[in-house]
Amino acid sequence: MTEELRLAAVLVGLYGDTGDLPLLLEVRETDFDTACGLGGIPEPGARADELRQWARELDESMFGTDPADELVSIWTDLARDQGMTEPARVTLIRELDDIVMDQSRLRCPWAPRTLAMAPLSGLARDFEELGDLPQALRTQRLYAALQETAWDCASAWRTLARLEREAGRLPQAVNSLAAVREALATPGDDSLRHWRRVNLGCFIAEEHYRLTLALADAGCVDEARALLTAADAVLGELSDNAAKGVRELAERAAERVREAD
């Protein structure tokens, strides 16, 4: 059950062709979720006006007719899917600029002291999918700076380090991973109490080793050696299960640094 499926059913129903009822009913009975999501479809034998009324009521309650009521991401996703990447990119940049100029837009109406970070994380992901790494970095940097819990901070800076590495900004990526380690060392809350046993710890160690490899390949041997030491320290903190998926990469990074020496 998706919003796209529900909207498709509405668009079919708005035609008022009762010959479409068997198809709509078949879709509704696909599983429990579709039965709930497409409830109220008229039964076989219903009139055309009953079908249209059902579709209009669902349309008004779930979708509406004003495009301005939709999230910007709806239109940028559609533009991207149709190959219109530049209009999508320009729209997303404007959306980011608005947030940068007025960060109060991120405040939750029902909890003014709380920031809703989903718009920023969504923008970073959208820019990355469009291949615009500079804007993805700009967005992720702001996203990381605004995090309030130690877990969110460590996760956000780790993602920023990955983007910086992929963009070839290796010194900046080193600094971002240093911020991750600082969050692990002095968390300030208990949100990171299980990081050694879960995927976050694995991802952090993995990014350290990937950046070590990138530094060695770039001829930054001293920096690679120093980061390898930090990576091994992070790996040593992980539980056996969490560390299992990183050890092969750790060995490859260590071997590459030895070759560079």
Tell me the DSSP string of 103-160.
Answer: GGGGEETTEEEEE--HHHHHHHHHHHHTT-HHHHHHHHHHHHHT--SHHHHHHHHHHH
- Domain residue spans of the chain: 3-65, 67-146, 149-261
Contact 115, 148 (CB under 8 A): yes
**Residue given tokens 């998706």 in the structure block:** 2
Q: What is the largest CA-CA distance in the chain?
A: 80
Burial class (CB in 10 A: 0-12, 13-18, 19+), 170: buried
* Residues 6 or more apart in contact with residue 25 via CB below 8 angstroms: 41, 43, 44
pLDDT at 110: 77
- What is the C-alpha separation between 253 and 211, in angstroms, rounded? 9
Class of domain 149-261: mainly alpha
pTM: 0.77
Extended beta strands in 3-124, E state: 107-108, 111-115
pLDDT values of the chain reduced to their tens digit, one per residue, 261 residues: 888 899 999 999 999 999 999 999 999 999 999 999 999 999 999 999 999 999 999 998 887 777 777 778 888 988 999 999 999 999 999 999 999 999 888 888 777 778 889 899 999 999 999 999 999 999 999 999 999 999 999 999 999 999 999 999 999 999 999 999 999 999 999 999 999 999 999 999 999 999 999 999 999 999 999 999 999 999 999 999 999 989 999 999 999 999 988
Contact 162, 131 (CB under 8 A): no
Angle value at C-alpha 24, between 23 and 27, nearest 5 degrees: 85
pLDDT at 116: 87
